Amino acid sequence: MNRSGSRVRAAVRQGLNRVLRPAGSRIVTGQEWRGLTAGKELLVDQLVDLFEALVLPDLEPRQGRRELLHRLIGTEIPEAMYLLDSLRQSLAGPGDVCEMGVAQGATSALIANEIATTDRTLWLYDSFEGLSAPTTEDVLLDDVLGLGSMDSYAGSMAVGAELVQGRLRELDFPPARTRIVKGFIEPDLPAERLPDQVAFAYLDFDLYEPILTGLRLLHPRCRPGSVLMVDDFGFLSAGVEAAVREFLAEHGDLYSPWEAPPHAGHFCVLRRGPSISSSRGD
């Protein structure tokens, strides 16, 4: 592009940015974008280094992990690091790995990369039509999408299953070890749509009813050392914490719950039976 062409493009961009500014948006050039993301990637790498060295020293580095951490959407790095370490610990025993609430498959890809060299099956559950309707337990705590009310979240975050399928293809994760279970989660899910045994599950449905349903479905398939990790505990909707507390009132004697401290994010980890090992330093 000649100099007058780039001047025209810069003038158009500035004009558009004046219009977009009140909405809090702006157009950036490819070069600006690369500068912005390079800064973010450096911070992610530094945080991962810190966690690997000081907080979770038993978590061995793994090929491909950093790139997948860079590509997370909405999952903070400390939470992802605890996810990886909880998954590692759970794999000391038998069982498959589940994710409930998959969306584009950013965390599915992170998990798949960790179990690629095992014989575990990855079970992925999602409506692929977005969040279900909230119930009265789902009081809005953090309006992350700026929708104004909990009811407006019904149907949000809808993406097609082809996105997660594409993410798993990029990793060469074997389709024979992948089960994608489409549809709103129901308590009467047939047994063939659930693993016989669960080592690890990441529950990220955001709402009271599906989280409680997911925990109850997985519970009979857990063995000592299995881990159920629930995202958005005390965040977005109060319903997630309510669901965990209700589940613990039913089965709390069988699980050791661990609520993430403020530096780590908004999640809780339920480990069944006596812990296999702990490298958290807490």
**Residues in the site for ligand SAM, rule: CB under 6 A?**
73-75, 101-104, 106-107, 126-127, 130-132, 157-158, 184-185, 204-207, 210
**Which string of DSSP letters, residue by residue, matches 93-128?**
S--EEEEE--TTSHHHHHHHHHHTTS-PPEEEEE-S
For residue 35, the minimal CB distance to ligand SAM (Å) is 26
For residue 134, the minimal CB distance to ligand SAM (Å) is 10
Nearer Cβ to ligand SAM (93/236): 236
Give the number of other CB atoms < 10 A from CB of residue 215: 24
For residue 74, the minimal CB distance to ligand SAM (Å) is 6
For residue 100, the minimal CB distance to ligand SAM (Å) is 7
Quickly tell me which residue has 């857990």 as its tokens.
222
Q: Which SS3 state, helix, strand or coil, does residue 201 take?
A: strand
- Local structure of residue 44 (DSSP, 8 states): H
Nearer Cβ to ligand SAM (93/103): 103
Cα 204 to Cα 125: distance, rounded to the nearest angstrom: 10
Q: Please enumerate in sequence order all residues whose Cβ is within 8 A of that of 73, keeping only pairs 6 or more positions apart, or say none.
A: 103, 104, 106
Cα 234 to Cα 240: distance, rounded to the nearest angstrom: 7
For residue 127, the minimal CB distance to ligand SAM (Å) is 4
Nearer Cβ to ligand SAM (157/254): 157
Nearer Cβ to ligand SAM (160/224): 160
Nearer Cβ to ligand SAM (93/228): 228
